[in-house]
Structure formats: structure tokens, C-alpha cells
Amino acid sequence: MLEVQDVVTSYGMIQALKGVSLAARTGEVTCILGPNGAGKTTLLYTIAGILRPRSGSVRFEGRELAGVPADQVVRRGISLVPENRLVFAHMTVRENLLAGAYARLGRDGGGVKVDLEAMLERFPILRQRAGQAAGTLSGGEQQMLAVARALMARPRLLMMDEPSLGLAPMIVEQIFEIVAALNREGITVLLVEQNARLALSIAHHAYLLEQGRIAFRGTPSEVSANEAISRAYLGIKRG
């Protein structure tokens, strides 16, 4: 569904991605592990069109995405739940959800209404808070809102950047259950996550990104079987 080929992305003089290739297959959860500063967010931002790759290609459903402006990428069927959620803090929960459907509002007003109701059904806490400013929500509630807002665009590929960041373990598990459920419903997921153990528990494929390069790729069990990786990222000590 998504093929990233030899992508190089730089900020000024600094090369954040030094030729990254990966694929997210239809219907799967693909996760990207790696330490801070490895380029994980840069990679998602490059796919989302916020950053432009210096070279390489990003193909989605067979069409080239590299160079497509960010506000058009969402119209191609890709939504990003950004790191730190970035909900519209001064707007109500309902306004946030409608903003998520911005690209559809003109064409598909009826569908948006149906989806809004479906989101409030799926996330009952959001219905309770529908008229409240999003900034007054707890971290976990904001993360649910960010996911629901991204879903309002009806993406075929959902990208998530560190959904567990700053959340209590119980909430994190809830978020991951939601991601797994969305995936079962047919949404392809590309997940960047520090919590490797949890990410691997729902992933079909995993990539390890280190210093702007893919250092390892495999299935979750292959990742766990690799001693160096499990020691560094899963905290498993052997011997």
C-alpha cells in the first residue's frame, strides 16, 4: 500500500533520513521502533508531505506522494495522528472532529454527520465532552480525540506518532486496543512507538530505525529473537 524508497530528508545541513526504504502492507500494522532522534517523526512528516524529501520516492496505492503538499496528502487517504496529539485546544471536541473531516466537508456533508455520530458512539467519553474545549481534556482523552479526528478523514492508512507519550499505562493499553480494533476493521496502520513491547504485540511487521537508516526489519518474533535489539529496546536481559 505504501512504499518508501531510498528517502533522504534534511533539515538545513542535517540529514535526518539517510536513504530509508520501508513498506506498509494493506491491512497490516507496521511499526517503526528506534531511539530518540533516529528520524521516526521525520519519516512520518515526510510521508505526510509536511517535509519534502531531498531524494527518493514515496508511493501510496501506486501513486507518487513525494512533493505532494501536506494539505493534499490527507485527500489521498493518509491521516497522521501527530506526536503530542496537537488537538485544537481552544475549540470544542465537536469542532475538532469536524475539522478532522475538513477535506470532506464540502463534498460529503451527510457522510461527515454519520461519521461524527459513529465517533461519538465509539468514544463515549468524547460524547460526554462534545461541547468542551479540547484543551480541558485529560491526556488520554486528547489522544482518543486525536485518533477520532484523524479517522474523520476516512483514511485508508492511519499513521500514529508515539500515541503512548505521556499517558498512564492503563490508558496506553486502551489506545492500543483501539488501534488493533481499527486494524481489524481494515485500516492499515503505520505506528511509530517508543513502547516497543506494546507496539510489537499488535504489529505484523517491524522496522528498526537508527540514525536515519533502517537497521533491522522483520516480524515481531524475529525482532524479539534478535538479542541486541531486545536488549536495547525491549529491556530483556539474557544470561
Q: Which positions touch another protein (CB under 8 A)? A: 48, 50, 69-72, 74-75, 79-80, 82, 86-91, 95, 98-100, 102-103, 105, 149-150, 153
Q: Which is nearer to another protein, 95 or 173 (CB)?
A: 95
CB of 94 to another protein, least distance (A): 10
Q: Which is nearer to another protein, 155 or 220 (CB)?
A: 155
Torsion of CA 81, 92, 124, 173, to 10 degrees: 30
Q: Which is nearer to another protein, 48 or 206 (CB)?
A: 48
| Cα–Cα–Cα angle for 214, 220, 225, rounded to 5 degrees | 90
CB of 9 to another protein, least distance (A): 17
Task: Identify each DSSP E strand in the chain by its residue range.
Answer: 2-11, 14-24, 29-33, 55-60, 63-64, 78-81, 157-161, 188-192, 205-210, 213-218
Strand partners, 189: 29, 158
Residue 33's closest CA among 171, 178, 232?
A: 232
Q: Which is nearer to another protein, 79 or 164 (CB)?
A: 79
CB of 169 to another protein, least distance (A): 26
CB of 57 to another protein, least distance (A): 21
Q: Which is nearer to another protein, 102 or 216 (CB)?
A: 102
Pairing of strands 78-81, 63-64: unpaired
Which residues 6+ apart lie within 8 Å of 94 measured at CB? Answer: 116, 130, 131
Other beta carbons within 10 Å of 70:
13
Q: Which is nearer to another protein, 129 or 149 (CB)?
A: 149
CB of 69 to another protein, least distance (A): 8
191/154 Cα distance (integer angstroms) = 17
34/36 Cα distance (integer angstroms) = 7
CB of 222 to another protein, least distance (A): 32
